[in-house]
Structure 1
Amino acid sequence: MKALRCHQTGEPGEVLSVEEIPDPTVADGQLLVSVLAAPLSFPDLLLCRGQYQFAPPLPMTLGVELCGTVLAVGAGVNRFAVGDRVIGNPAPPDGAFAELAILEDSAAYPAPKALDDAQASALGIAYQTGWFALHRRARLQPGETLLVHAAAGGVGSAAVQLGKAAGATVIGVVGGADKARHCAELGADLVIDRRDADFVKAVKDFTDGRGADVIFDPVGGDAYAGSTKCVAFEGRILVVGFAGGTIPKPGLNHALIKNYSILGLHWGLYLRHDPGAVVECHRHLTTLADAGAITPLVTERLSLADTADGLRRLGDGHTSGRVVCEPTAGSTP
């Protein structure tokens, strides 16, 4: 099979190449799937650069989530059968940017019928992250105001849609006109281009000085610093990631004086501590997808050969929504 391989860590364009490698074989408790689509994500970029929280052995195939068709099942698998369409998370170093991949039975879920392959592949980590952040951690309520940073990105676009589905008023902060257009299409009630406007002032003006009840921050740095200036009384700031490259050092005295909460969200920990909640979350997301309330924003579909450049552009902040690798398809705009 063909796979996008990494023999040493570094920048995607320098260390990734498409290679022919042996087909994987299914073991007990596993699924062998034909990869229909695999979204590009920041974990892929960090794995490629050797900056992730753990270092898989090299060489490795990147791609932390996928949508695929089951080709074979190992002994003990009774949740899926050959021909089923599934989404899931292959375990590094054997990832999803390949024609075939292995999933543990426990890491696979039925693909929602309402979504095409690329959309379904993007429903996993980003929407699970958004759902757990907004509902389990921040307890977002109907009628509250939600501020989403990087609102046209993979995780941010999921948070915008989930916030609207929850009955919140959603403010999206983006960088650039194209991203502002995508954010508006996602349903945000107010879109702020941080390149043209001070988002702190814009949020205060929009909320009559009250501020945002919940702030979803996958960026860190200046985004977090500004969030502390426009969070509402008893508001909640969700720390989801640091795509901006700077990890904030919050002033806890400021949180005390303004009476807001700082909440961390690491979705992967639910897989270890409460896997049943992940299954239940997938049911909720499938229901929302079937109702048309959420649809992952897929802006590009790339071949394996184009995926390294896609990861480079993702790291440079030059993508919107989800860029998806389709291992057996050509590159299309």
Structure 2
Amino acid sequence: MKVWRVHAWGQPPVLEEVPDPQPRAGHTLVRTAAATVAHVDRTVMKGGFLQPPPLPYTPGVEAAGIVVQSDRFAPGTRVWLRGGGLGTRRDGTWCELIDAPDEAVGLLPEGVDMALGSAFFSPCTSAWVALRHVADLQPGERVGVTGASGAVGSITRQLARAWGADLVEAPSATEPVDLLVDTVGGPVLEQSLSAIAPGGRIVLVGYTAGEQVGLSLPLLMQRDVRLLPLNMYRREAQGRAAAPQLLELLQDGTLTLATQRFTLEQAVQALAWIAQRGHRGRAVLAFD
């Protein structure tokens, strides 16, 4: 099968041919239809992940496809894949045939296409958990979102509106918000502190604008603002529990998520595309 592999930290992946994986207990073999290219893939490739996989390894933490062999799912079943260490502790999804732990596999409804099934989990569950579990969003609260054009930001806005929040397009000291969901971090987070109402909170979801931040501690304390990080690896169970409801919302059109498709051979171009500021949607390798 064709597979992308990383042989050294900080180096781009290489497309290779390797033998197909063989069936084994506790694992599901999936013929890949689509695999997502994500920021976490860039982080792991740099060698900066907490528990990096052994080299060489195959990137990719999300995918969708058709079951080939499994003790849990019938052959031909449409599924999505995320978790179980895919692409972080073991080989991931940028390959034609995925050997996935059973717990990483979920059912994909017929009405959700493969690209969307591959791309939905990270942005949709991040937005859901950030609003519902971390922020404890209440109807009528004023909410701002940084990086609203990105996948997580877009879904966060859609869910917040559906749950009765009052969206503020440009939070400021004169139009503060009760909750800011920050998907970009860096200097954007620093500048946003004065736009939070006293007693409000900030949920930090990402740091694409910068990994370092300098906050005014007196201002943070005076305004009594809570800074709450979202760790989806620790909260993965909450995300997985929400996945069926999120897929229903995507299927009926309540939520929309844009995808940008690349061929299997264009993984390196997809990595460059997601590194560009202002890109919209999620990059997906299409295997058809």
Matched, 1:241 2:206: yes
Matched, 1:67 2:28: no
For 1:243-282, what aligned pairs fall within 5 Å after superposition? Answer: 243-271=208-236, 275=237, 277-282=238-243
Report the 3-state secondary structure (helix = DSSP H, G, I; strand = E; otherwise coil) of the residue aligned with 1:96.
Answer: coil
CA distance in 2, matches of 1:37, 1:319: 19
Equivalent residue for 1:133, pick from 127, 130, 144: 130
Match for residue 6 of structure 2? 6
Cα contact 1:115–1:295 (8 A) shared by 2 = no
- Deviation of residue 132 (structure 1)? 0.6
Q: Which runs of 5+ in 2 are unaligned?
A: none
Matched, 1:283 2:244: yes
Judged with a 3 Å threshold, the aligned counterparts in structure 2 of structure 1 residues 98 and 280 are, in CA distance, closer, same or farther, namely same
For 1:279-318, what aligned pairs fall within 5 Å after superposition? Answer: 279-298=240-259, 300-317=260-277
- Aligned amino acid, residue 319 of structure 1: H
Once structures 1 and 2 are overlaid, which stretch shifts more, 130-139 or 98-107?
98-107
CA distance in 2, matches of 1:63, 1:287: 24
Report the 3-state secondary structure (helix = DSSP H, G, I; strand = E; otherwise coil) of the residue aligned with 2:171.
Answer: helix
Report the 3-state secondary structure (helix = DSSP H, G, I; strand = E; otherwise coil) of the residue aligned with 1:266.
Answer: coil
For 1:162-173, what aligned pairs fall within 5 Å after superposition? Answer: 162-171=159-168
Cα contact 2:128–2:239 (8 A) shared by 1 = no
Judged with a 3 Å threshold, the aligned counterparts in structure 2 of structure 1 residues 44 and 22 are, in CA distance, closer, same or farther, namely same
Matched, 1:86 2:46: no
Judged with a 3 Å threshold, the aligned counterparts in structure 2 of structure 1 residues 170 and 99 are, in CA distance, closer, same or farther, namely farther
RMSD over aligned CA atoms reads: 1.9
For 1:1-333, what aligned pairs fall within 5 Å after superposition? Answer: 1-11=1-11, 15-74=12-71, 77=72, 80-89=73-82, 91-92=86-87, 93-171=90-168, 190=169, 202-204=170-172, 209-271=174-236, 275=237, 277-298=238-259, 300-317=260-277, 319-326=279-286, 328-329=287-288
Cα contact 2:34–2:65 (8 A) shared by 1 = yes
CA distance in 1, matches of 2:50, 2:206: 13
CA distance in 2, matches of 1:318, 1:26: 42
TM-score normalised by length of structure 1: 0.79
CA distance in 1, matches of 2:201, 2:221: 12
Report the 3-state secondary structure (helix = DSSP H, G, I; strand = E; otherwise coil) of the residue aligned with 1:222.
Answer: helix
TM-score normalised by length of structure 2: 0.91
CA distance in 1, matches of 2:200, 2:56: 45
Match for residue 196 of structure 1? none
- Aligned amino acid, residue 203 of structure 1: P
Report the 3-state secondary structure (helix = DSSP H, G, I; strand = E; otherwise coil) of the residue aligned with 2:203.
Answer: strand
- Aligned amino acid, residue 243 of structure 2: H
Judged with a 3 Å threshold, the aligned counterparts in structure 2 of structure 1 residues 316 and 54 are, in CA distance, closer, same or farther, namely farther
Query: How big is each residue's C-alpha offset from its partner over 1:30-52, in whole Å with a ceiling of 9 and x where there is no partner?
Result: 11001111111110111122222
- Deviation of residue 318 (structure 1)? 5.6
CA distance in 2, matches of 1:266, 1:94: 22
- Deviation of residue 71 (structure 1)? 0.7
Report the 3-state secondary structure (helix = DSSP H, G, I; strand = E; otherwise coil) of the residue aligned with 2:235.
Answer: helix
- Deviation of residue 164 (structure 1)? 2.4
CA distance in 1, matches of 2:136, 2:110: 28
- Deviation of residue 103 (structure 1)? 1.8
- Aligned amino acid, residue 94 of structure 1: D
Query: How big is each residue's C-alpha offset from its partner over 1:28-85, in whole Å with a ceiling of 9 and x where there is no partner?
Result: 11110011111111101111222222221111111100111111004xx2xx221111
Q: Which runs of 5+ in 1 are unaligned?
A: 172-189, 191-201
- Deviation of residue 168 (structure 1)? 2.1
Report the 3-state secondary structure (helix = DSSP H, G, I; strand = E; otherwise coil) of the residue aligned with 1:86.
Answer: strand
Cα contact 1:210–1:233 (8 A) shared by 2 = no
